[in-house]
Structure 1
Amino acid sequence: MSQAKTNARKCAVQALYQWQMSGESLSRIEIYFQEEDHLKGAQKNYFNEIFHGVPAQLDVIDAALAEFVDRPVEKIDPVERAILRVGVYELINRLETPYKVIINEGVNLAKFFGAEGSHKYINGILDKVSQKQRAVEIASKQAPSAP
Protein backbone atom coordinates (compact mmCIF):
# COMPACT_ATOMS: atom_id res chain seq x y z
CA MET A 1 0.00 0.00 0.00
CA SER A 2 1.30 3.43 -0.78
CA GLN A 3 2.59 5.80 1.88
CA ALA A 4 0.18 8.45 0.54
CA LYS A 5 -2.78 6.18 1.35
CA THR A 6 -1.34 5.40 4.78
CA ASN A 7 -1.02 9.13 5.42
CA ALA A 8 -4.60 9.67 4.19
CA ARG A 9 -5.79 7.08 6.72
CA LYS A 10 -3.83 8.80 9.51
CA CYS A 11 -5.40 12.13 8.64
CA ALA A 12 -8.85 10.55 8.38
CA VAL A 13 -8.50 9.03 11.86
CA GLN A 14 -7.45 12.40 13.28
CA ALA A 15 -10.28 14.24 11.51
CA LEU A 16 -12.90 11.67 12.53
CA TYR A 17 -11.64 11.79 16.11
CA GLN A 18 -12.01 15.58 16.04
CA TRP A 19 -15.53 15.23 14.58
CA GLN A 20 -16.52 12.66 17.24
CA MET A 21 -15.17 14.75 20.11
CA SER A 22 -16.12 18.26 19.04
CA GLY A 23 -19.30 17.77 17.06
CA GLU A 24 -18.01 20.34 14.55
CA SER A 25 -19.23 20.15 10.99
CA LEU A 26 -17.32 17.99 8.54
CA SER A 27 -16.71 20.97 6.29
CA ARG A 28 -15.14 23.00 9.09
CA ILE A 29 -12.82 20.15 10.06
CA GLU A 30 -11.93 19.54 6.42
CA ILE A 31 -11.03 23.22 5.96
CA TYR A 32 -8.85 23.06 9.06
CA PHE A 33 -6.97 20.04 7.71
CA GLN A 34 -6.44 21.74 4.35
CA GLU A 35 -5.44 25.14 5.75
CA GLU A 36 -3.04 23.70 8.31
CA ASP A 37 -1.42 21.53 5.62
CA HIS A 38 -2.10 18.31 7.54
CA LEU A 39 -2.73 16.56 4.24
CA LYS A 40 0.81 17.06 2.95
CA GLY A 41 2.03 13.67 1.75
CA ALA A 42 -1.48 12.21 1.91
CA GLN A 43 -3.62 11.10 -0.98
CA LYS A 44 -6.23 13.84 -0.63
CA ASN A 45 -8.97 12.06 -2.59
CA TYR A 46 -8.62 9.01 -0.38
CA PHE A 47 -8.76 11.15 2.76
CA ASN A 48 -11.91 12.86 1.47
CA GLU A 49 -13.55 9.56 0.58
CA ILE A 50 -12.95 8.09 4.04
CA PHE A 51 -13.62 11.29 5.98
CA HIS A 52 -16.97 11.85 4.27
CA GLY A 53 -17.78 8.17 3.76
CA VAL A 54 -17.63 7.15 7.39
CA PRO A 55 -20.24 9.67 8.61
CA ALA A 56 -22.41 8.98 5.54
CA GLN A 57 -22.43 5.25 6.33
CA LEU A 58 -22.17 5.50 10.11
CA ASP A 59 -25.23 3.33 10.82
CA VAL A 60 -23.97 0.52 8.57
CA ILE A 61 -20.41 0.75 9.92
CA ASP A 62 -21.49 0.82 13.56
CA ALA A 63 -23.88 -2.09 12.98
CA ALA A 64 -21.01 -4.12 11.51
CA LEU A 65 -18.89 -3.25 14.55
CA ALA A 66 -21.65 -3.84 17.11
CA GLU A 67 -21.82 -7.49 16.15
CA PHE A 68 -18.25 -8.09 17.33
CA VAL A 69 -17.38 -5.55 20.03
CA ASP A 70 -17.71 -6.13 23.75
CA ARG A 71 -19.57 -2.89 24.51
CA PRO A 72 -21.78 -0.34 22.75
CA VAL A 73 -19.84 1.28 19.90
CA GLU A 74 -20.20 4.72 21.50
CA LYS A 75 -18.43 3.40 24.63
CA ILE A 76 -15.30 2.34 22.71
CA ASP A 77 -12.32 4.63 23.28
CA PRO A 78 -12.69 7.51 20.76
CA VAL A 79 -9.31 6.85 19.12
CA GLU A 80 -10.03 3.15 18.73
CA ARG A 81 -13.54 3.93 17.50
CA ALA A 82 -12.18 6.21 14.76
CA ILE A 83 -9.64 3.57 13.71
CA LEU A 84 -12.26 0.82 13.66
CA ARG A 85 -14.67 2.94 11.65
CA VAL A 86 -11.99 3.66 9.04
CA GLY A 87 -11.16 -0.06 8.82
CA VAL A 88 -14.78 -1.16 8.52
CA TYR A 89 -15.45 1.54 5.93
CA GLU A 90 -12.60 0.17 3.82
CA LEU A 91 -13.64 -3.46 4.33
CA ILE A 92 -17.12 -2.62 3.03
CA ASN A 93 -16.26 -0.14 0.28
CA ARG A 94 -12.71 -0.72 -0.93
CA LEU A 95 -12.91 -4.28 -2.20
CA GLU A 96 -9.79 -3.80 -4.33
CA THR A 97 -7.76 -3.42 -1.12
CA PRO A 98 -6.97 -6.83 0.40
CA TYR A 99 -8.54 -7.35 3.82
CA LYS A 100 -5.12 -8.19 5.32
CA VAL A 101 -3.82 -4.78 4.23
CA ILE A 102 -6.78 -3.05 5.88
CA ILE A 103 -6.26 -4.98 9.13
CA ASN A 104 -2.52 -4.25 9.08
CA GLU A 105 -3.15 -0.54 8.49
CA GLY A 106 -5.61 -0.51 11.40
CA VAL A 107 -3.07 -2.19 13.68
CA ASN A 108 -0.41 0.34 12.66
CA LEU A 109 -2.80 3.22 13.28
CA ALA A 110 -3.51 1.85 16.75
CA LYS A 111 0.21 1.55 17.47
CA PHE A 112 0.66 5.15 16.32
CA PHE A 113 -2.39 6.80 17.95
CA GLY A 114 -3.84 4.33 20.43
CA ALA A 115 -3.18 3.32 23.99
CA GLU A 116 -0.60 0.66 24.71
CA GLY A 117 -1.93 -2.70 23.57
CA SER A 118 -4.89 -1.22 21.67
CA HIS A 119 -3.52 -2.68 18.44
CA LYS A 120 -4.50 -6.14 19.72
CA TYR A 121 -8.12 -5.04 20.17
CA ILE A 122 -8.17 -3.39 16.72
CA ASN A 123 -6.66 -6.51 15.15
CA GLY A 124 -9.21 -8.81 16.76
CA ILE A 125 -12.24 -6.73 15.85
CA LEU A 126 -11.19 -5.99 12.26
CA ASP A 127 -10.34 -9.66 11.77
CA LYS A 128 -13.83 -10.68 12.91
CA VAL A 129 -15.52 -8.03 10.76
CA SER A 130 -13.45 -9.09 7.75
CA GLN A 131 -14.52 -12.73 8.23
CA LYS A 132 -18.09 -11.59 7.62
CA GLN A 133 -17.59 -8.70 5.16
CA ARG A 134 -14.92 -10.44 3.06
CA ALA A 135 -15.95 -14.09 3.42
CA VAL A 136 -15.65 -14.75 -0.33
CA GLU A 137 -12.18 -13.19 -0.52
CA ILE A 138 -10.98 -15.13 2.53
CA ALA A 139 -12.43 -18.41 1.26
CA SER A 140 -10.76 -17.97 -2.13
CA LYS A 141 -7.38 -17.50 -0.43
CA GLN A 142 -7.89 -20.59 1.74
CA ALA A 143 -9.15 -22.88 -1.02
CA PRO A 144 -6.56 -25.38 -2.22
CA SER A 145 -5.36 -24.67 -5.73
CA ALA A 146 -6.20 -27.10 -8.48
CA PRO A 147 -3.36 -29.38 -9.66
Structure 2
Amino acid sequence: MKKTKRRRGRELALKALFAWDINEGQDREETFELFWTQAEDVSEEITEFAKRLIEGTAKNIETIDELIKNQAKNWQFSRLAYVDRNILRLSIFELLYCPDIPRAVTINEAIELAKTYSTADSSKFINGILDKIKENNAG
Protein backbone atom coordinates (compact mmCIF):
# COMPACT_ATOMS: atom_id res chain seq x y z
CA MET A 1 0.00 0.00 0.00
CA LYS A 2 1.31 3.43 -0.94
CA LYS A 3 2.06 5.72 1.97
CA THR A 4 0.33 9.07 2.06
CA LYS A 5 2.39 12.24 2.24
CA ARG A 6 1.21 12.83 5.77
CA ARG A 7 2.14 9.28 6.82
CA ARG A 8 5.65 9.89 5.49
CA GLY A 9 5.75 13.20 7.35
CA ARG A 10 4.69 11.49 10.57
CA GLU A 11 7.38 8.86 10.09
CA LEU A 12 10.02 11.56 9.68
CA ALA A 13 8.71 13.40 12.73
CA LEU A 14 8.79 10.19 14.76
CA LYS A 15 12.39 9.52 13.72
CA ALA A 16 13.47 13.06 14.63
CA LEU A 17 11.73 12.97 18.01
CA PHE A 18 13.19 9.53 18.68
CA ALA A 19 16.69 10.84 17.89
CA TRP A 20 16.18 13.77 20.24
CA ASP A 21 14.88 11.48 22.99
CA ILE A 22 17.73 8.95 22.85
CA ASN A 23 20.35 11.73 22.72
CA GLU A 24 19.19 13.09 26.05
CA GLY A 25 21.01 16.26 26.94
CA GLN A 26 21.87 17.15 23.36
CA ASP A 27 20.58 20.52 22.20
CA ARG A 28 17.17 20.18 20.56
CA GLU A 29 17.94 22.46 17.62
CA GLU A 30 21.28 20.76 17.05
CA THR A 31 19.63 17.33 17.06
CA PHE A 32 16.95 18.35 14.58
CA GLU A 33 19.45 20.14 12.34
CA LEU A 34 21.60 17.03 12.21
CA PHE A 35 18.52 14.91 11.56
CA TRP A 36 17.55 16.97 8.50
CA THR A 37 21.05 16.75 7.03
CA GLN A 38 20.73 12.95 7.12
CA ALA A 39 17.01 12.56 6.38
CA GLU A 40 15.72 11.05 3.19
CA ASP A 41 15.00 13.44 0.38
CA VAL A 42 11.26 14.11 0.34
CA SER A 43 8.99 16.76 -1.07
CA GLU A 44 8.72 20.17 0.52
CA GLU A 45 5.12 19.39 1.49
CA ILE A 46 6.20 16.32 3.48
CA THR A 47 9.11 18.19 5.06
CA GLU A 48 6.90 21.10 6.10
CA PHE A 49 4.32 18.79 7.67
CA ALA A 50 7.05 16.87 9.52
CA LYS A 51 8.62 20.10 10.79
CA ARG A 52 5.23 21.34 12.00
CA LEU A 53 4.82 18.14 14.02
CA ILE A 54 8.39 18.11 15.34
CA GLU A 55 8.48 21.75 16.38
CA GLY A 56 4.99 21.70 17.87
CA THR A 57 5.65 18.54 19.83
CA ALA A 58 8.99 19.84 21.13
CA LYS A 59 7.47 23.20 22.09
CA ASN A 60 4.68 21.51 24.08
CA ILE A 61 6.66 18.55 25.41
CA GLU A 62 6.08 19.25 29.13
CA THR A 63 2.29 19.44 28.75
CA ILE A 64 2.25 16.38 26.51
CA ASP A 65 4.47 14.32 28.81
CA GLU A 66 2.29 15.22 31.80
CA LEU A 67 -0.78 13.94 29.93
CA ILE A 68 1.00 10.68 29.15
CA LYS A 69 2.02 10.27 32.80
CA ASN A 70 -1.54 10.91 33.97
CA GLN A 71 -3.07 8.41 31.53
CA ALA A 72 -0.45 5.66 31.61
CA LYS A 73 -1.48 4.32 34.99
CA ASN A 74 0.79 1.57 36.33
CA TRP A 75 3.53 2.60 33.88
CA GLN A 76 6.64 4.53 34.76
CA PHE A 77 7.11 7.18 32.09
CA SER A 78 10.85 6.53 31.93
CA ARG A 79 10.19 2.83 31.30
CA LEU A 80 8.04 3.41 28.21
CA ALA A 81 9.82 2.31 25.04
CA TYR A 82 11.36 5.29 23.24
CA VAL A 83 9.33 4.54 20.11
CA ASP A 84 6.05 4.27 21.99
CA ARG A 85 6.71 7.41 24.01
CA ASN A 86 7.41 9.40 20.86
CA ILE A 87 4.44 8.03 18.94
CA LEU A 88 2.31 9.17 21.88
CA ARG A 89 3.98 12.59 21.98
CA LEU A 90 3.52 13.16 18.29
CA SER A 91 -0.08 11.99 18.31
CA ILE A 92 -1.06 13.96 21.40
CA PHE A 93 0.34 17.09 19.78
CA GLU A 94 -1.91 16.40 16.78
CA LEU A 95 -4.95 15.74 18.98
CA LEU A 96 -4.53 18.90 21.04
CA TYR A 97 -3.01 21.42 18.65
CA CYS A 98 -3.99 20.42 15.09
CA PRO A 99 -7.73 20.98 14.70
CA ASP A 100 -7.35 20.62 10.92
CA ILE A 101 -6.51 16.92 11.35
CA PRO A 102 -9.46 14.67 12.23
CA ARG A 103 -8.91 13.01 15.59
CA ALA A 104 -9.84 9.57 14.24
CA VAL A 105 -7.13 9.96 11.58
CA THR A 106 -4.55 10.91 14.21
CA ILE A 107 -5.35 7.85 16.32
CA ASN A 108 -5.39 5.52 13.32
CA GLU A 109 -2.04 6.87 12.14
CA ALA A 110 -0.56 6.36 15.62
CA ILE A 111 -1.73 2.75 15.61
CA GLU A 112 -0.18 2.21 12.17
CA LEU A 113 3.12 3.78 13.29
CA ALA A 114 3.15 1.48 16.31
CA LYS A 115 2.47 -1.58 14.15
CA THR A 116 5.33 -0.57 11.85
CA TYR A 117 7.92 0.60 14.38
CA SER A 118 6.93 -1.15 17.61
CA THR A 119 4.70 -4.10 18.54
CA ALA A 120 1.06 -5.18 18.33
CA ASP A 121 0.79 -4.79 22.10
CA SER A 122 2.18 -1.28 21.80
CA SER A 123 -0.44 -0.36 19.24
CA LYS A 124 -3.18 -1.42 21.69
CA PHE A 125 -1.55 0.50 24.55
CA ILE A 126 -1.15 3.63 22.40
CA ASN A 127 -4.74 3.37 21.18
CA GLY A 128 -5.99 3.19 24.78
CA ILE A 129 -3.97 6.21 25.93
CA LEU A 130 -4.98 8.32 22.93
CA ASP A 131 -8.66 7.41 23.32
CA LYS A 132 -8.57 8.58 26.96
CA ILE A 133 -6.85 11.82 26.01
CA LYS A 134 -9.32 12.41 23.17
CA GLU A 135 -12.26 11.89 25.56
CA ASN A 136 -10.78 14.12 28.27
CA ASN A 137 -9.90 16.90 25.81
CA ALA A 138 -13.01 16.91 23.64
CA GLY A 139 -13.51 19.94 21.51
The answer to whether structure 1 residue 63 and structure 2 residue 92 are counterparts is no
Q: TM-score w.r.t. structure 2 length?
A: 0.86
1:1-147 equivalent positions in 2, closer than 5 A:
3-23=4-24, 24-41=26-43, 43-70=46-73, 71-133=75-137, 135-136=138-139
CA distance in structure 2 between the partners assigned to 1:33 and 1:106 by the alignment: 21
Superimposed CA distance per residue, residues 33-55 of structure 1 (whole angstroms, 9 cap, x where no aligned partner): 33224252561112112112212
CA distance in 2, matches of 1:75, 1:7: 27
Larger radius of gyration: 1
Cα distance between partner residues in 2 of 1:85 and 1:37: 20
Aligned counterparts of 1:64 and 1:53: Cα–Cα separation in 2 = 15
Counterpart AA for 2:8: N
TM-score under structure 1 length normalisation:
0.82
Question: Deviations for 1:33-79, whole angstroms, at most 9, x for unmatched residues?
Answer: 33224252561112112112212111110122222102232221111
After TM superposition, the structure 1 stretch with the greater mean CA deviation from structure 2, 38-47 or 72-81, is 38-47
Give the secondary-structure state (helix, strand or coil) at the position aligned to 1:43.
helix
**In structure 2, what is the Cα distance between the partners aligned to 1:92 and 1:74?**
23
Give unpaired runs (5+ residues) of structure 1. 137-147
Instruction: Give the share of equivalent positions with the same residue, in percent.
Output: 25
2: CA distance between counterparts of 1:110 and 1:88?
14
- Unpaired runs of 5+ residues, structure 2, are none
Q: CA offset at residue 28 of structure 1?
A: 2.9
**CA distance in 1 between partners of 2:117 and 2:70 (Å):** 24
Following TM superposition, by how much is the alpha carbon of 1:116 offset from its aligned partner in structure 2, in angstroms? 3.7
Amino acid at match of 1:11: L
Q: CA RMSD in A?
A: 1.8
